[in-house]
Amino acid sequence: MENSEIARIFLEISELLELKGENTFKIRAYQKAARSIEGLSLDLDQVYKEGGIKALKEIPGIGESLAEKIEEKITTGKVKKHQQLIRRFSPGFIELMDIPGLGPKTAMKLFKEEKINSIAKLKKAIKSGKIKDLPGIKDKKVQNISAGIKLKEKAKGRFLISEATEYAAAIVKKLEKMGPVKKIVPAGSLRRQKETIGDLDILVTSEKAEKITAGFADLALVSRVLAKGPTRSSAILKNNMQCDLRVVKPSEYGAALHYFTGSQQHAIAIRQLARTMGLKVSEYGVFKGKKRIAGRTEEEVFGALGLKYIPPELRENRGELEAAQNGKLPILVELEDIRGDLHCHSDRSDGSNTIAEMAAAGREMGYEYMAITDHSVSTRIAGGQTEKEFLKEMSAIEKLRTKGIKILKGVEVDILPDGSLDFRDFVLKEADVVIAAIHSRFKMSKKDMTKRILSAMDNKYVNIIAHPTGRLINERAPYEIDMEEIFRVAAQTGTFMELNSHPSRLDLNDTHCRQAARHKILVSINTDSHNIGGLANIRFGVSTARRGWLEKKDVLNSLPYAGLLKKLYQKRR
């Protein structure tokens, strides 16, 4: 519950320290800790409660002083050092620093020299052209900042699925203890597993509605109550996310759940279909005239309309009603179908765990195999390895025998701006799985960027294109590429596409997944983990794949080890 908030605080501290000109070692420590916490599958609150500061220190990247800060946040709600830094720089300035494309240094310049300390003032300065008077701010930089402001405004109020999941789980846990409740389900876009969540919609069945709505309003993680009635309540949570709570009778559960799950477009299509059958669907049930004929469960609601059960991830009015009518609903891929993770980093590039630790964590997840894919030399900021270092890593993996899981030798090799690869073929040949990715020059033209990726796919050692569009949700727009052309050539060359499960990426996105399946391209659902905690993000990748109508057969890493190796080595022949 505290995790994302603490991660955010640590990131902010690192940025502010950078401005203060603190030493890079300290700055890096905060960044690394933030990353490690974001990837943590355990609740920091819980870790602290059970094992105190000692348990906190066991988390990779968390030393004595950072553990103390986490303790401070959990026990006092604040981190003094963070507060001091904010006071020093003013909140408006923090807001500026948050704009993608505008780093702390530029924010500082705007603040000091033009007294710009809010997004509104920044927009004004861009419009009047005053911003260009500042030294070192060129047209291109201004363009980037404008794009960043737009992205920020569009993102306003939409949260990453990981953060929404974390808060929903915390609320469910508290409500469960509150009295006689039968079911508590997060509905809305979270149940549909959309990539970003506007607000939480939590549905509860209970005969004692008032007790629940009152208790909800009193929760510590609620910061402001917007509305409170006998069966419903709305509040703003500590992270500024809204949460709507509805309590219904058990007999209405199915109809209410269907209604509050949405999407609105899906619900409209359902109501239209009902009308053609002489029925009426509402949040209370399915009615024939005055008579209620269904509503206790969702299956009942769909059944009354002659439909098979439609999984929430498909409810976007993208053809799911027709499919449900014709028995053509896909049998969606499930978390249990994933047999291994093909994109993981170790401490040999920018990860925080050793290869052995990563493999052991993979085995814990029940995986049959896992690929270690550290960065190549060009991604210097991510500790990219030279060819020589990489070859050493490959032989280290070969010697490493971890019981119960197979470790694949892998690499995440850079696709350079001219489309060539960072490692030579005789080096790539040593890997079982080669992931190719773009980490530089994001702003090339659509034509050039597409060509860049196509030429990487032409290499017979390249198995998977990682995070194909490069977007970072709420932070960086996808690069311009011709997806259709990329899929066409992927199919032709036997290259697979990654669905990167990191909640900030989810790249391929849901519609791309569907497009890939139409081209008969296998999608590899990977986590791009940089620590053992990151492996749990696989759930968000699987959800996105499900939203893209993918079945087990569409997913590369649902194959057993032998079948996987065959697929990977096919291209080399």
Q: Which two tokens stand for residue 431?
A: 């890997």
Distance separating alpha carbons of residues 215 and 197, to the nearest angstrom: 24
Residue 311 binding: pick among ligand DGT, Ca ion, none (C-beta 5-8 Å cut-off by kind): none
**Residue 194 half-sphere exposure, CB side, CA atoms within 13 Å?**
18
Task: Supply the minimum distance, in Å, between the C-beta of residue 73 and ligand DGT.
Answer: 28
Residue 264 contact among Ca ion, ligand DGT, none, beta carbon within 5 to 8 Å by kind:
ligand DGT
Nearer to ligand DGT by C-beta: 65 or 264? 264
- CB closer to Ca ion out of 244 and 393: 244
**CB closer to Ca ion, 180 vs 229:** 229
Least distance (Å) from Ca ion to the CB of residue 201?
Answer: 5
Minimal distance, residue 241 CB to ligand DGT, in Å: 10
Residue 29 beta carbon to ligand DGT: minimum distance, rounded to whole angstroms: 35
Q: How far apart are CA 444 and CA 174, in angstroms?
A: 49
What is the Cα 531 distance to its own chain's centre? 15
Q: Which is nearer to Ca ion, 201 or 498 (CB)?
A: 201
Residues near ligand DGT (CB under 6 A) are: 188-189, 194, 197-199, 201, 259-260, 262-264, 267
Angstrom distance (rounded) from CA 347 to CA 383: 9
Binding residues (CB under 5 A) for Ca ion: these are 188-189, 198-199, 201, 244
Q: Are 227 and 255 in contact (CB under 8 A)?
A: no
- Written as six digits, the tokens of 536 are 């749990």
Shortest gap between Cβ of 474 and ligand DGT (angstroms)? Answer: 13
Per DSSP, 522 falls in state P
Instruction: Name the minimum Å distance from CB 478 to ligand DGT.
Output: 20
Residue with Cβ nearer Ca ion (41 or 239): 239
Which one of Ca ion, ligand DGT, none interacts with residue 267, CB within 5 to 8 A by kind? ligand DGT
Residues 6 or more apart whose CB falls under 8 angstroms from that of 566 comprise none
Nearer to Ca ion, 172 or 360 (CB): 172
Q: Which is nearer to Ca ion, 196 or 493 (CB)?
A: 196
Please choose which of Ca ion, ligand DGT, none residue 260 contacts, taking the beta carbon within 5 to 8 angstroms, the exact cut-off set by kind: ligand DGT
Classify residue 572 by its DSSP letter.
Answer: T
Compute the least distance from the CB of residue 520 to ligand DGT, in Å. Answer: 32
Least distance between ligand DGT and beta carbon 267 (Å): 4
245 binds, among Ca ion, ligand DGT, none (CB under 5 to 8 A by kind): none
Query: Are the beta carbons of 51 and 7 closer than 8 angstroms?
Result: no
Q: Which long-range contacts (CB under 8 A, 24 or more apart) does 316-319 make?
A: 316/192, 316/263, 316/265, 316/266, 316/547, 317/263, 317/265, 317/266, 317/268, 317/269
Q: Which does 262 bind (CB under 5 to 8 A by kind): ligand DGT, Ca ion, none?
A: ligand DGT
- Choose the contact partner of 476 out of Ca ion, ligand DGT, none; CB within 5 to 8 A by kind: none
By beta-carbon proximity to ligand DGT, the closer residue of 103 and 198 is: 198
Three-state DSSP string of 230-269: CCEEEEEECCCCEEEEEEECHHHHHHHHHHHHCCHHHHHH
Say which residues have a Cβ less than 8 Å from residue 25's Cβ, sequence separation at least 6.
none
